[in-house]
């Protein structure tokens, strides 16, 4: 997929795929076992203690009598913290030992079991083996509580940090010694599997997505809660479950649909007894995960979406949206799309082939906000300048993906540009009733001025094509501004060429300033709409190449003149021109020409003494 690298990286980190191993530790003196997931099974010999999440189910059972009070106190102190606070790398490490010990299976020695808030019950197994030698967080914790630190990877000689996370030969690790990290991992996984105390596994940071919301406005969850049967799906023939409109959705601490008795009370679709619908609705991100499929034909009633249309129109070629959706909408949509594909309803693997994030428009250098009072209201400006000027100015402000800073002065510059265009077309009103321009002209049949304008027009078409294709709207507009400047001598051209040029100008305007483009197109005398059958012109390839070129003339290493010559002129022709140029002869007359070097189409060098 052609997406910004940064967005892909954010998703990759969010999914957080890590390859490692599950390792089972026995608890000293009882039959309980503690399973951990580690991405570094190669460091098992350096596991000097173990940490459980305070919420881990074994904590209560394993805590020794004399530790009970301290452990309870600690558990209570953690309750008020969010996961982000708990896992913050800058937060001072806290934790307490529970008095029990686990057996490190690599050397069968006892290691103490602690609880600490930085281990989350919701990630992995809620337990970790701590390897301070190779993990910064574990090192910090070990230092704080005076726990042993054993390096199992030899850091480079010039390494003077604490935990070493890089590659190197294994040390203090018995049968792994000397192996690099990758090989040591593989060997340890094999060893664990052979001994039946662990196995290689893949873990994800990704959590489940809780989709129910206690809101009225949303897609009902098609589940019926029956006292006898439990959660029963609504019969397919009764789908979709429709939201009632007469709902009191004042906040009352529970889902608004709960109080709508006609909606909420139903018969169980399995046993027929009185039951209740699920009162929650789905997170709107569920809907936005597949709307691009449904919107193709929202009227279809016998399928989730129109399969034929989806086949034709998806994946979406170009998707534009804010970067803030990187790990939400843009991730959900990919998952749902792949799920629908796996159900056999789609052939494509991705919902959006190409993704672009629009930049932010700031004002006075800051993000617009009501609180700051620096909000630019589009209506104020469209009322004065019209929507085309407003739109053009937004596009011209800066690269699409970067945005820019709003300026009241800037928009009046755009207005002047628009007025100049409008005046130009007004001067050529109904021109097409007099002449009928060709699709292409032979350059040799054109006058000097016509040739120049014909070239500039076709070069602009080429440039605007390219820039629009890449969402470079600002440079596309700049190309039109340049073209407008190059049309000063338009009236010196034949009427046919004038019409040829202006027709193309109007068409190029259309995607950027649709009202203006259409109006200009009609002023010329076209009686159809530009948008009926969208019209676009291909540039005349012959006109894209310049037939003359500027050649720099140097005398003794100093630039003395620039002469315009036909493209690919031979040395003799150029020499004649060079020595009839006063700016050159001024520096060569009365001197001996020692050497002349001509680089075709570029430079003419003279050494004179």
**CA nearest 20: which of 109, 124, 103, 115?**
124
Using the rule CB under 5 A, give the single segment among 109-117, 266-274, 438-446, 597-605 that binds Zn ion: 266-274
Stretch that binds Zn ion, among 113-121, 193-201, 226-234, 537-545 (CB under 5 A): 226-234
Q: How far is the CB of 256 from Zn ion (least distance, A)?
A: 25
Total site size for Zn ion, rule CB under 5 A: 6
Piece of 10-18, 29-37, 265-273, 277-285 that binds Zn ion (CB under 5 A): 265-273
Q: How far is the CB of 232 from Zn ion (least distance, A)?
A: 6
- Compute the chain's Rg from CA coordinates: 37
CB of 230 to Zn ion, least distance (A): 8
Residue reference for tokens 């290689």? 200
Rounded to the nearest 5°, which phi and psi values hold at 55? Answer: -90, 0
Of residues 229 and 361, the one with the C-beta less far from Zn ion: 229
CB of 233 to Zn ion, least distance (A): 12
DSSP state of 151: -
Binding residue (CB under 5 A) for Zn ion from 19, 30, 271, 597: 271
Q: At what angle do helices 408-426 and 378-385 cross, to 10 degrees?
A: 30
Q: Which is nearer to Zn ion, 23 or 268 (CB)?
A: 268
Q: What is the DSSP string of 523-547?
A: HTT--S-TTTTT------GGGTS-S
Instruction: Work out how close the CB of 226 gets to Zn ion at its nearest, in angstroms, rounded to a whole number.
Output: 3
Q: How far is CA 335 from CA 15, 124, 351, 541, in A?
A: 11, 21, 9, 45
- Report the candidate in 395, 375, 389 with the shortest Cα–Cα distance to residue 420: 389
Alpha-carbon dihedral angle through residues 28, 31, 37, 41, given to the nearest 10 degrees: 50
Q: How far apart are CA 54 and CA 121, in angstroms?
A: 8
For residues 270 and 583, which CB has a smaller minimum distance to Zn ion in the complex?
Answer: 270
Three-state SS for 109?
A: strand
In this chain, which of 268, 499, 543, 563 binds Zn ion, going by CB under 5 A?
268
Nearer to Zn ion by Cβ, of 193 and 274: the residue is 274
**Residue 541 to residue 561: CA distance in whole angstroms:** 31
Among 226, 296, 460, 553, binds Zn ion (CB under 5 A): 226
Secondary structure (DSSP) of 252-311: -SS-GGGG-HHHHEEE-TTT-SEEEE---EE-HHHHHTTHHHHTT-TT--SSSS-HHHHH
The sign of the dihedral angle between the CA atoms of 127, 129, 130, 133 is negative
Contact 154, 168 (CB under 8 A): yes
Cβ atoms of residues 274 and 284 within 8 Å: no
| Residue number with CB closer to Zn ion (1 or 264) | 264
| Part of the chain binding Zn ion (CB under 5 A), chosen from 220-228, 311-319, 401-409, 452-460 | 220-228
Q: Considering only residues 177-206, where is the footprint of Zn ion by CB under 5 A?
A: none
Residue with smaller CB distance to Zn ion, 226 or 418: 226
Minimal distance in Å, beta carbon 366 to Zn ion?
58
* Contact range with Zn ion by CB under 5 A, out of 38-46, 222-230, 251-259, 329-337: 222-230
Contact stretch for Zn ion (CB under 5 A) within 225-233, 318-326, 362-370, 597-605: 225-233
3-state secondary structure of 578: helix
- Applying CB under 5 A, does 266 fall inside the site for Zn ion? no
| Contacting Zn ion within 539-558 (CB under 5 A) | none
CB of 272 or CB of 566, closer to Zn ion: 272
* Identity of the residue, 277 or 451, whose beta carbon is nearer to Zn ion in the bound complex: 277
Of 215, 270, 294, 309, the one binding Zn ion by CB under 5 A: 270
Task: Single out the residue of 228, 429, 538, 602 in contact with Zn ion (rule: CB under 5 A).
Answer: 228
Q: Interface residues for Zn ion in 5-64 (CB under 5 A)?
A: none
Residue 235 binding Zn ion, by CB under 5 A: no
What ranges make up the beta strands (E) of 324-401? Answer: 352-356, 360-363, 366-367
Nearest approach in angstroms of CB 231 to Zn ion is 10
**Binding segment for Zn ion among 271-279, 296-304, 402-410, 411-419 (CB under 5 A)?**
271-279
The DSSP code for 464 is: H
For the bound state, the minimum distance from the C-beta of residue 73 to Zn ion, rounded and expressed in Å, comes to: 46
What span, in angstroms and rounded, lies between the C-alpha atoms of 262 and 278? Answer: 13
Residue number, 272 or 534, with CB nearest to Zn ion: 272
Rounded to the nearest whole angstrom, what is the least distance from the CB of residue 275 to Zn ion in the complex?
6
Q: Which residue has the tokens 């792994």?
A: 176
CB of 401 to Zn ion, least distance (A): 54
- Phi-psi region for residue 154, left (φ > 0), alpha (ψ -120 to 50) or beta? beta
Segment lying near Zn ion (by CB under 5 A), choices 24-32, 101-109, 184-192, 261-269: 261-269
Q: Beta-carbon neighbour count of residue 58 at 10 Å?
A: 18
Choice between 86 and 270, CB closer to Zn ion = 270
Question: Contacts with Zn ion in 333-362 (CB under 5 A)?
Answer: none
Half-sphere exposure of 319 (CA within 13 A, CB side): 23
Compute the least distance from the CB of residue 288 to Zn ion, in Å.
33
d(CA 498, CA 501): 5
| Four-point Cα dihedral 226, 227, 231, 232, nearest 10 | -30
Minimum distance of Zn ion from residue 238's CB (angstroms): 15
Among 1, 229, 247, 361, which residue sits at the site for Zn ion (rule: CB under 5 A)?
229
Nearer to Zn ion, 226 or 460 (CB): 226
Q: Which is nearer to Zn ion, 130 or 226 (CB)?
A: 226
What are the counts of helices (DSSP H) followed by strands (DSSP E) for the chain? 20, 22
Please give the Cα distance from 149 to 138 (Å, whole number).
9
Q: Cβ 274 to Zn ion, closest distance in Å?
A: 9
Would you tell me which residues interact with Zn ion (CB under 5 A)? 226, 228-229, 268, 270-271
């Amino acid at each position: 997929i052609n997406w910004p690298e940064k967005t892909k990286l954010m998703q990759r980190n969010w999914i957080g795929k890590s390859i490692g191993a599950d390792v089972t530790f026995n608890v000293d003196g009882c039959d309980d076992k503690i399973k951990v997931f580690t991405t570094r099974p190669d460091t098992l010999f350096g596991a000097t203690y173990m940490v459980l999440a305070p919420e881990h189910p074994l904590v209560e059972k394993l805590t020794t009598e004399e530790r009970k009070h301290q452990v309870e106190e600690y558990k209570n102190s953690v309750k008020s913290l969010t996961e982000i606070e708990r896992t913050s790398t800058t937060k001072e490490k806290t934790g307490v030992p529970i008095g029990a010990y686990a057996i490190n299976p690599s050397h069968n020695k006892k290691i103490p079991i602690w609880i600490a808030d930085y281990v989350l019950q919701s990630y992995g197994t809620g337990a970790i083996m701590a390897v301070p030698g190779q993990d910064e967080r574990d090192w910090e914790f070990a230092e704080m509580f005076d726990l042993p630190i054993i390096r199992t990877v030899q850091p480079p000689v010039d390494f003077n940090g604490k935990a070493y996370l890089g590659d190197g030969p294994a040390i203090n690790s018995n049968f792994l010694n000397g192996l690099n990290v990758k090989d040591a991992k593989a060997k340890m996984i094999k060893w664990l599997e052979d001994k039946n105390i662990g196995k290689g596994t893949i873990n994800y940071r990704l959590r489940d997505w809780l989709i129910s919301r206690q809101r009225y406005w949303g897609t009902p969850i098609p589940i019926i809660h029956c006292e006898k049967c439990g959660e029963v799906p609504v019969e397919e023939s009764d789908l979709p479950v429709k939201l009632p409109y007469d709902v009191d959705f004042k906040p009352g601490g529970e889902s608004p649909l709960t109080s709508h008795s006609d909606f909420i009370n139903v018969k169980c679709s399995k046993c027929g007894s009185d039951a209740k619908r699920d009162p929650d609705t789905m997170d709107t991100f569920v809907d936005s995960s597949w709307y691009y499929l449904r919107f193709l034909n929202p009227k279809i009633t016998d399928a989730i979406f129109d399969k034929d249309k989806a086949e034709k129109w998806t994946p979406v070629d170009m998707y534009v949206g804010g970067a803030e959706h990187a790990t939400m909408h843009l991730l959900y949509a990919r998952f749902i799309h792949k799920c629908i594909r796996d159900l056999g309803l789609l052939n494509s693997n991705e919902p959006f082939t190409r993704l672009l994030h629009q930049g932010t428009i700031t004002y006075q250098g800051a993000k617009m906000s009501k609180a700051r009072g620096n909000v630019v209201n589009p209506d104020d400006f469209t009322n004065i300048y019209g929507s085309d000027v407003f739109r053009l100015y937004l596009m011209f402000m800066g690269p699409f993906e970067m945005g820019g800073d709003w300026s009241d002065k800037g928009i009046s510059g755009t207005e002047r540009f628009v007025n100049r265009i409008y005046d130009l077309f007004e001067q050529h009103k109904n021109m097409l009733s007099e002449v009928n321009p060709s699709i292409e002209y032979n350059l040799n049949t054109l006058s000097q001025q016509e040739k120049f304008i014909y070239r500039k027009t076709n070069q602009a078409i080429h440039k605007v094509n390219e820039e629009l294709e890449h969402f470079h709207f600002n440079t596309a507009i700049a190309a039109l501004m340049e073209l407008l400047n190059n049309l000063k001598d338009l009236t010196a051209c034949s009427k046919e060429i004038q019409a040829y040029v202006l027709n193309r100008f109007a068409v190029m305007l259309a995607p950027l300033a649709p009202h203006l483009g259409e109006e200009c197109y009609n002023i010329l005398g076209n009686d159809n709409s530009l948008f009926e059958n969208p019209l676009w012109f291909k540039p005349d390839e012959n006109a894209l190449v310049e037939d003359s070129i500027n050649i720099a003339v140097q005398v003794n290493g100093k630039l003395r003149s620039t002469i315009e010559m036909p493209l690919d002129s031979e040395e003799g022709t150029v020499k004649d021109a060079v020595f009839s140029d006063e700016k050159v002869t001024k520096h060569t007359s009365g001197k001996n020409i020692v050497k002349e070097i001509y680089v075709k189409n570029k430079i003419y060098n003279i050494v004179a003494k």
